[in-house]
Structure 1
Amino acid sequence: MTDDRQAEPLLFETMSTMRAMRRLKPDPVPEELLERLVQAAVWAPSGSNLQQFHYVVVTDRDVIARLEPLWRRCVNAYLGSAGKATPPSMEEGAYRRMVAAIEHQRDHFADTPALIVPCYRYVQPKGDMDGLKALHGSLGTSGMLRLMTNGVFSTIAETSSVYPGVQNLLLAARGLGLAATVTVWHLMLEREWKQVLGIPKDVNTFAVIPVGMPAGNFGPVRRRPVQEVIHRDGW
């Protein structure tokens, strides 16, 4: 049996060196490793244990070639808008290096060994009169209206059932020595991406994760100090 006291530092080491690796070797990733990544994702929590997540794994060169112009358009849209400004928490030099890595990935996208696209098909729970009365009794009229009209709850319900799996996948990739990074730029042209991949209309996509052997080195991540982000007993 594994000693948790010995295993914990290994997990922390994995998390603290899980850089966004955008420079990939073109070598194929063994199918069994890709399945292990998806298995790690499936182990993550799922809201109400519905498990309506799906993972599209793309390794076909022709399919990736069809996605390449969509990726380029999305990356260029990002770099031409939000990506033009250096984030307050990042030094100028570090940001320039990140942009260079993004441009490298854009220009070599056709050589990406594998893509993993996390998806979710949200199942709207069927309510009955007793359930509606219970909601009204707990939330009141205004609370019920907000819940039913702004769509935030269903959106968060989906994302909370997908991104824990994405994080598991990224941690597994780091543990297996694979390079990966989570991106959401494809959402700018999600309809076109879904058409190429044959994803049903009632299924939402949440990321595109390029995966391959790293062309660079893993190393410590740069993040804000914990003391800057903790708020104790309130904001």
Structure 2
Amino acid sequence: MSTMRAMRKLKPDPVPRELLERLVEAATWAPSAGNTQTYGFVIVDDRETMAKCGRIWRRQQRFYSRAQEPLVPEFTTAEKWTKVHDALRHQAAHFDDTPALIVFTYDFTGTVITKMVKGLRHTLAGCAAVGPVGTLKMLPNLVRFFSTGEAASIYPAVENTLLAARAHGLAACLTTWHTIYEPDWRRALGLKRGTKIYCVVPVGWPEGKFGPVARRPVADVVRYTGTATG
């Protein structure tokens, strides 16, 4: 874990499908909401589809870097932030040579979350259980409740995949900017209605070295409740 950096510079050498399927197997070991397991994993390793994805990717990168590169985040430096965007530009320029993509999808058509959204009767029953005051407090948070429930069903699988990739010496990087042009991605991948994309992970053999990662000290990010000190 301490050496699992986001790796965007990949060699063009192919990754065996057997190895890619091991990564997906690790993904399936993660939990999902109600153990529904309606996730899906689209592996892109053919050059025609990769080229279609590459055209979308470069458009995303242009927007992202133009909008965000001038905005240096807290806890980093302008020099480091520029290096991040240099890596993004490199990845975009060489995207068509990416050995493989693993696209993480989830079909919520028959899940409890979807049934709650569509079935007003069930939602009203839940509101009755918490009373008028509880309902008023809850209503502004329902969208977030449903969206985090969706995310919780797929992102543990993404982390499992990243860890498995690192264990096999593969470079990988979690990306979510497909959401900018998700309809284009859906067409490129031929996804059916009701299936959402949550993450696109480029996978390949690394050009650079793994880790160690640079992170803020635990003491800077942890807070205990109560007044007692440890």
Q: Is the 8 A contact 1:147 1:153 kept in 2?
A: no
Q: Secondary structure at the match of 1:80?
A: helix
Letter in 2 for 1:81: A
Please provide the CA RMSD for this pair.
Answer: 2.2
Name the structure 2 match of 1:175.
167
Name the structure 2 match of 1:158.
150
For 1:128 and 1:69, the matched residues in 2 are separated by 41
| Alpha-carbon distance change, 233 to 212 in structure 1, aligned in 2, over 3 angstroms | same
Name the structure 1 match of 2:43.
57
| Alpha-carbon distance change, 188 to 131 in structure 1, aligned in 2, over 3 angstroms | closer
Name the structure 2 match of 1:72.
58
Name the structure 1 match of 2:210.
218
Q: Secondary structure at the match of 2:43?
A: strand
| Alpha-carbon distance change, 33 to 202 in structure 1, aligned in 2, over 3 angstroms | same
Q: Does 1:93 align with 2:58?
A: no
Name the structure 1 match of 2:115.
125
Letter in 2 for 1:71: W
Name the structure 2 match of 1:230.
222
Q: Secondary structure at the match of 1:93?
A: helix
Q: Does 1:46 align with 2:38?
A: no
TM-score normalised by L of structure 2: 0.88
Q: Secondary structure at the match of 2:165?
A: helix
Identity among equivalent pairs (%): 45
2:100 to 90, 106, 114: 114
1:139 to 130, 139, 151: 130
Q: Does 1:82 align with 2:68?
A: yes
For 1:38 and 1:214, the matched residues in 2 are separated by 19
Q: Is the 8 A contact 1:29 1:114 kept in 2?
A: yes
Q: Does 1:29 align with 2:15?
A: yes
Show structure 1 runs of 5+ residues with no match: 1-14
Aligned residue pair count: 220
Q: Does 1:196 align with 2:182?
A: no
TM-score normalised by L of structure 1: 0.86
Q: Is the 8 A contact 2:69 2:82 kept in 1?
A: no
